[in-house]
Structure 1
Amino acid sequence: MTYCVALNLKHGLIFASDTRTNAGVDHIASFKKMTCFQNEGERNIFILTSGNLATSQAVIERLQQDIHGQMEKTVLNVPTLFDVADLIGVLSCQIAKQAAKVAQQEVVTFGSNFLVGGQIRGQAPKLYSVYSEGNCIAATEDTPFFQIGESKYGKPILDRVVTYETELAVALKAVLLSFDSSIRSNLSVGFPIDLMVYQVDSLRMPHGRRIHADDEYMLQICQEWGSGLVRLLMDFDDIPLDYTQ
Structure 2
Amino acid sequence: MTYCVGMRLDAGLVFLSDSRTNAGVDQVGTFRKMSVFENAGDRMIVLLTAGNLSISQSIRELISAHVSADGQSIWTASNMYEAARIVGDAVRSVFHRDAKALAEFGIDFNVSMILGGQIKGERCRLFQIYSAGNFIESHNENTYFQIGEAKYGKPILDRVVTPATPLDEAAKCALISMDSTLRSNISVGLPLDLLVYETDRLAVTRFVTIDEKNQYFQMIRNTWGHQLKAVFEAIDDPIWNATPEIVQNVLSSTNMHSKPVRVLPPLGVQSDLNFASGLQTLAQNFGDSQQ
TM, length-normalised to structure 2? 0.78
Change (3 A) 1:138 1:7: same
Structure 1, 104-113 or 22-31: larger mean CA deviation: 104-113
Task: Please tell me whether the aligned partners of residues 97 and 107 of structure 1 are also in contact (alpha carbons under 8 angstroms).
Answer: no
Q: Partner residue of 1:185? A: 184
Q: Partner residue of 2:197? A: 198
Provide the rounded CA distance (Å) in 2 between the counterparts of 1:130 and 1:77: 20
Task: Please tell me whether the aligned partners of residues 37 and 46 of structure 1 are also in contact (alpha carbons under 8 angstroms).
Answer: yes
Structure 1, 99-108 or 133-142: larger mean CA deviation: 99-108
1:65-123, CA deviations, whole angstroms, 9 ceiling, x for partnerless residues? 337xxx92210101111111111112112212321222444997122111000001110
Provide the rounded CA distance (Å) in 1 between the counterparts of 2:26 and 2:128: 31
Provide the rounded CA distance (Å) in 2 between the counterparts of 1:46 and 1:128: 10
Matches within 5 A, 1:1-245: 1-22=1-22, 24-66=24-66, 72-105=71-104, 109-242=108-241
Partner amino acid, structure 2, of 1:161: V
Gaps of at least 5 residues in structure 1 are none
Provide the rounded CA distance (Å) in 1 between the counterparts of 2:23 and 2:131: 19
Q: Which has the larger radius of gyration?
A: 2
Q: CA RMSD in A?
A: 1.9
Structure 2 residue matching 1:109: 3-state secondary structure: coil
1:31-67, CA deviations, whole angstroms, 9 ceiling, x for partnerless residues? 0111111121111100000011101101111122337
Partner amino acid, structure 1, of 2:195: M
Task: Please tell me whether the aligned partners of residues 18 and 33 of structure 1 are also in contact (alpha carbons under 8 angstroms).
Answer: yes
TM, length-normalised to structure 1? 0.92
Provide the rounded CA distance (Å) in 2 between the counterparts of 1:112 and 1:103: 13
Task: Please tell me whether the aligned partners of residues 23 and 186 of structure 2 are also in contact (alpha carbons under 8 angstroms).
Answer: no
Gaps of at least 5 residues in structure 2 are 242-251, 253-291
User: How many pairs are equivalent?
Assistant: 240
Shift of 1:135: 0.5
Partner amino acid, structure 1, of 2:167: L
Provide the rounded CA distance (Å) in 2 between the counterparts of 1:194 and 1:83: 26
Shift of 1:223: 0.7
Structure 1 residue matching 2:239: 3-state secondary structure: coil
Provide the rounded CA distance (Å) in 1 between the counterparts of 2:96 and 2:2: 22
Structure 2 residue matching 1:49: 3-state secondary structure: strand
Provide the rounded CA distance (Å) in 1 between the counterparts of 2:239 and 2:135: 48
Provide the rounded CA distance (Å) in 2 between the counterparts of 1:2 and 1:158: 17
